[in-house]
């Protein structure tokens, strides 16, 4: 068997395991899922599973890493920005598009496994992008408000708005969400001075 066929078989097996994990997480928390559940649902032997992953945590890490890389690639498109408002509006657009393309995946992670470590990983991707934007922004003096405080403030808003949209699929359109964010976010970051903070 040539190398290309072996590689293709590995890719197919890994994709099957990702999809199986995703299906199982729709109905139960990741912490409750066993390797035997994954194997039964995927109709594979345990030896096949262990040929690729040491345990379910390694499978989850690979699954989330792929999702993280995909999301990070999307957020990198958010380059041509004039101000913070434009940045957040574009981020929401990219995030909603990404969620829409992978709706089942995000539903499994953000709704059915809300207390899982997966939430922290997704937070991390968006948080890094926001902090990078803050550091490159000329709108705010970093010494007045710590960048981690600013990022957490906006991160909570972005993440929870996306979660609300995902949970209530037919209640708001993407355009509605963008419009509401447009109304809520000021044109520039609040430029606090040291005097304001004392």
Q: What is the pLDDT of residue 7?
A: 83
Q: By mean pLDDT, which of 20-29, 45-54, 75-84, 155-164 is the weakest?
A: 75-84
pLDDT at 83 over 50: yes
The helix-helix angle for 35-42 and 56-75 (nearest 10°) equals 70
What domains are defined for the chain? 3-59 (1.10.357.10), 62-190 (1.10.357)
Q: What is the pLDDT of residue 42?
A: 95
pTM: 0.64
The closest of 10, 128, 117, 11 to 64, measured between CA atoms, is 117
pLDDT at 46 over 90: yes
51-67 in b/e form (b: 16+ CB < 10 A) is eebeebeebbbbbbeeb
75-112 in b/e form (b: 16+ CB < 10 A) is beebeebebbbebbbbbbbbbbebbeebeebbbbbbeb
pLDDT at 38 over 90: yes
What would the pLDDT profile of 98-126 be if each residue is shown by its tens digit?
A: 888 877 777 777 766 665 566 676 778 78
Q: CA 134, CA 39: separation in Å to the nearest integer?
A: 45
């Amino acid at each position: 068997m040539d190398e290309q066929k072996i590689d293709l078989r590995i890719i197919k097996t890994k994709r099957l395991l990702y999809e199986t994990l995703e299906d199982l997480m729709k109905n139960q928390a990741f912490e409750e899922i066993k390797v035997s559940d994954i194997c039964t649902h995927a109709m594979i032997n345990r030896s096949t599973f262990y040929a690729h992953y040491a345990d379910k945590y390694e499978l989850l890490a690979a699954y989330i890493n792929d999702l993280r890389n995909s999301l990070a690639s999307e957020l990198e498109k958010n380059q041509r920005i004039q101000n913070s408002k434009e940045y957040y509006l574009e981020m929401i657009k990219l995030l909603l598009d990404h969620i829409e393309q992978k709706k089942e995946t995000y539903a499994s992670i953000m709704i059915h496994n809300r207390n899982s470590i997966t939430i922290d990983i997704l937070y991390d991707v968006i948080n890094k992008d926001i902090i990078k934007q803050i550091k490159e922004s000329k709108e705010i003096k970093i010494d007045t408000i710590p960048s981690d405080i600013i990022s957490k403030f906006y991160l909570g808003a972005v993440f929870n708005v996306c979660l609300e949209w995902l949970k209530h699929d037919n209640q708001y359109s993407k355009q509605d969400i963008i419009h509401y964010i447009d109304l809520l976010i000021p044109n520039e970051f609040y430029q606090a001075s040291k005097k304001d903070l004392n």
